[in-house]
Amino acid sequence: MKTVKNVFRRKLRAFLTIFGITIGIFALVVMGSLAEKITLLVNGGTRFYADKVTVSQGGSAGFSVNPISVDRIPAIQAIPGVRLASAGITLPLDKEQSASFGVPAMISASDLRGRNLESFKLTYSQGRELSPDDQGKAVVGADLVQKLNARVGGFIKVRGRSFQVVGILEKTLTIPDDAVIIPFRDAQNIFFNDLPELVQKNINPDMLATGLTIYPKPGVNPDKLAEEIGKKYPQYDAIGPAKFQQQVTNSTHIFTTIVFGVALISLLVGGLSVINTMTMSVYERTREVGIRKSLGASDGRIIRQFLGESAFIGAVGGITGLALGWLFVLVANKAGEASGTVIFLLTTRLAIGSIAFAIVLGVFSGLYPSWHAARLNPVQALRYE
Amino acid sequence: MNDGGVILRVRALYKTYELGKENLVRALRGASLEVAWSEMLAIIGPSGSGKSTAMHIMGCLDTPDQGEVWLEGRRVDKLKRRELNHVRSRQIGFIFQGFNLIPTFTAAENVALACEYAGMPRRKAKAAAARALTGVDLGDRLSHHPSELSGGQQQRVAIARALVNEPAIILGDEPTGDLDTINSREIMQMMRDINKSTGTTFVLVTHNPEVAATCDRTVCMRDGVVLADEECRPG
Ligand SMILES: Nc1ncnc2c1ncn2[C@@H]1O[C@H](COP(=O)(O)OP(=O)(O)OP(=O)(O)O)[C@@H](O)[C@H]1O
Ligand SMILES: [Mg+2]
């Protein structure tokens, strides 16, 4: 193929240009995979928080570790519109939480009072769900299986305590993937141990929870209900689906911005290097363009010839960038599985999108040089040495 | 077509090049010329007299500041870019001093390119190129690159390329200028034969009296105008 031949006429230059695009697309694929994972998490979270209100004390988005007392439940259930309130505990799996992307691994427990009302259903790839009278049993989220070395019937260590695994969750691509679900009573004990001694003295461990999940009566707007509860108990954060949505979109905006930033930078760097290469290429082949024009080549023919070359550069750069990005995501996720943090998700739309982006970038950057070549005066071009 | 037996008519061409503000080069100052169908015409004249400039304008590679160019009875000096491309690809063949072959293309590809620009599909173009190259005795050199051919062979590829679309006229700007005497004679003989057998019109710029002598008629350029052969002799 003449296009390929022409592009690689200057091998080093061709490789450098393609490499520039490769890096850009690589960055785009990696950052994009991160954003896709986050988006999925958020969408899952949105489903998770639909149709209910979570109440916690201080903290944000219901991940607070300030205690809230279970004996509040009767009073809250008395609020009109509340169908049922259920207590739950959410704690970091590792006490010393290191900062990380995505969601940190969690311990999750519930008094299970609301399990028949829950619209977010978990499915089990192995074993069974916890029942209210289980003790010392655990259900493990899909992304934590490897880290905790979990199998049904075997034992795992959670905060130094031994739990027998009774179930393993199907991958949900959102929060439960990074959670270990244990009985409420066991979680209360762990939580109690986490508290400062001073607090411990004044608290009954049986009353401990980190949050309440409130299921509204049919037809009651959960956001309105959250507002009412917030008014009645100003010391609590009552979060309905709309508020949750708002909180997470703020944080996903950052990721979208980063991805767009990376796209923009790769557009600039890759685009400029293609423009540079194509301009050089047209310049070096001025005489050839003159010959072609003397033979009656139309402007369109000349433009197509050079555009074909720049599109080819874009496509090769895009494919290698995608391949490298895919490899990176694969390796990083494999490594992440061991520590329970799978943070990349390379989706089909991202893969196709980044290749298309690279080709469009190549074509777009080739436009001016090609147009310039087509407009050359044939006599001057022929005279060019 | 019907222009009194004239294939190419040029009337009072003017072309001025501007080199900086004050430095004007008046390359053509009212050049006029008529070329008859199937004629083989030589243009001679001192360096800088405007021969190449005139050839470029006659070949629709350039436009004059003033004057008219009529090709096969049609005025071509004011055509649009698109129409000029069309004329160049189908009605005119060019042969240059420096051969002007694309170095990365084989002989066959160089010739086929002209066919493709004239609108021929790729497969047909290949066959036509092979035929044209066989016609200039290069049937065994189809896949050679220009760097693998002698000067005379390269110029024969260029002749094949100029001929392949069967234009009525071929313009040559010093086609033998870069060739030695033997190759020069061979190329001249080849063009003469083509002219005789196909009736293709040739207009050749040359410094070589032997080349001029092979042609049917010679005109001379001086200071941007065309003179009859007799007026050329100094004195
Ligand atoms: N692109 C250009 N810009 C400026 N001046 C030019 C250009 N092309 C030609 N000229 C000038 O126009 C004049 C005629 O040039 P042209 O090339 O037509 O001469 P020529 O008769 O072909 O000469 P030669 O026999 O040396 O090829 C010369 O003085 C030349 O310097
Ligand atoms: Mg000249």
pLDDT in tens, chain A (385 residues): 778 888 887 788 888 889 989 988 998 899 889 888 888 877 777 877 788 888 887 654 434 467 888 888 888 888 888 899 999 998 888 876 655 555 678 899 988 888 888 777 888 999 999 988 899 999 999 888 888 889 999 999 999 899 999 999 988 877 788 899 999 999 999 988 888 888 788 888 888 898 899 999 888 888 898 888 888 888 888 888 888 888 777 777 877 788 778 778 877 888 888 888 888 888 888 999 999 999 999 999 999 999 999 999 999 999 999 999 999 999 998 888 777 677 888 999 999 999 999 999 899 888 999 999 999 999 989 988 7
DSSP A59: S
What is the per-residue pLDDT for A257? 85
* Closest CA–CA distance from residue A287 to any residue of chain B (Å): 8
Strands (E), chain B: 6-19, 23-36, 40-44, 66-71, 74-75, 92-96, 169-173, 201-205, 217-222, 225-228
Q: What is the residue with the minimal CA distance to atom 25 of ligand 1?
A: B47
Burial class (CB in 10 A: 0-12, 13-18, 19+), B143: exposed
The radius of gyration of chain B's CA atoms, rounded to the nearest angstrom, is: 18
Which atom belonging to ligand 1 lies closest to the Cα atom of B19?
4
ipTM of model: 0.93
Is residue B16 within 8 Å of B50, Cβ to Cβ?
no
**Cα separation values, B12 from B31, B34, B62, B65, B69, Å:** 5, 11, 15, 10, 9
Mutation to test the A interface, candidates B53, B76, B113, most A Cβ within 10 Å: B113
Which residue owns the Cα nearest ligand 1 atom 24? B47
The closest alpha carbon to B187, from B61, B88, B96, B52, belongs to B96
* Interatomic CA distance for residues A101 and A42, integer angstroms: 13
Q: Which residues of B touch A377 (CB under 8 A)?
A: 62
Neighbouring C-alpha atoms within 13 Å toward the C-beta of B179: 25
Neighbours of A298 (CB within 10 A): 19
Higher-confidence residue of B4 and B79: namely B79
DSSP state of A72: G
pLDDT in tens, B93-133: 999 999 999 999 999 999 999 999 999 999 999 999 999 99
> Using a CB-CB distance cutoff of 8 angstroms, which residues of chain A are in contact with residue B89?
295-297
Report CB contact under 8 Å: A298, B82.
yes
Please give the residue of chain B at the shortest CA–CA distance from A374.
B81
pLDDT in tens, B123-172: 999 999 999 999 999 999 999 999 999 999 999 999 999 999 999 999 99
Q: Which pLDDT score, from 0 to 100, does residue A61 have?
A: 40
pLDDT score, position A340: 67
Neighbours of A47 (CB within 10 A): 15
For the record, the structure tokens of B107 come out as 């002989």
- Separation of B47 CA from ligand 1 center, angstroms? 8
Rounded to the nearest angstrom, the gap between the alpha carbon of residue A247 and the centroid of all alpha carbons in its chain is 16
Ion ligand 2: protein residues whose beta carbon lies under 5 Å: B 52
Residue of A nearest to B59 (CA): A294
Q: Which pLDDT belongs to residue A323?
A: 97
Atom of ligand 1 nearest to the CA of B207: 25
Task: For strands A236-239 and A53-57, give the pairing.
Answer: antiparallel
pLDDT of B229 > 50? The answer is yes
| Residues of chain B found within 8 Å of residue A295, distances taken between Cβ atoms | 88-89, 94, 113-114, 117, 161
List, in sequence order, every residue forming a beta bridge with B17; answer none if it has no partner.
Answer: B25
Q: Which ligand is nearest to the CA of B27?
A: 1
B234/chain A closest Cα distance in angstroms: 31
Q: Which two tokens stand for residue A28?
A: 């785009």
Q: Residue B137 CB: number of other CB atoms within 10 A?
A: 13
For B88, the closest of A288, A295, A301 (CB atoms) is A295
* Range of weakest confidence among A238-242, B178-182, B223-227: A238-242
At A334, list the tokens.
Answer: 């494999």
Q: Would you say residue B90 has pLDDT above 90? A: yes
Task: Assign A196 to helix, strand or coil.
Answer: coil
Residue B86: list chain A partners with CB under 8 A: 296
User: Chain B contact for A380, CB < 8 A?
Assistant: no
**What does the pLDDT read at residue A147?**
86
- Dihedral angle, C-alpha A122, A179, A51, A123, nearest 10 °: 0
Closest by Cβ to A296, choosing from B89, B100, B101: B89
SS (H, E, C) A255-281: HHHHHHHHHHHHHHHHHHHHHHHHHHH
Question: Which of A349, A382, A354, A329 has the alpha carbon at shortest distance from A30?
Answer: A329
Q: Distance, CA A58 to ligand 2 centroid (Å)? A: 89
CB-based contact, B56 to chain A, within 8 Å: yes
In this prediction the pTM is 0.75
Pocket of ligand 1, beta carbon within 6 A: B 17, 19, 25, 27, 45, 47-53
pLDDT reported for residue A63: 43
The contacts of residue A264 (CB under 8 Å, 6+ apart) are none
Q: For residue A14, what are the contacts with CB-CB under 8 A and spacing of at least 6?
A: A7, A8, A277, A313
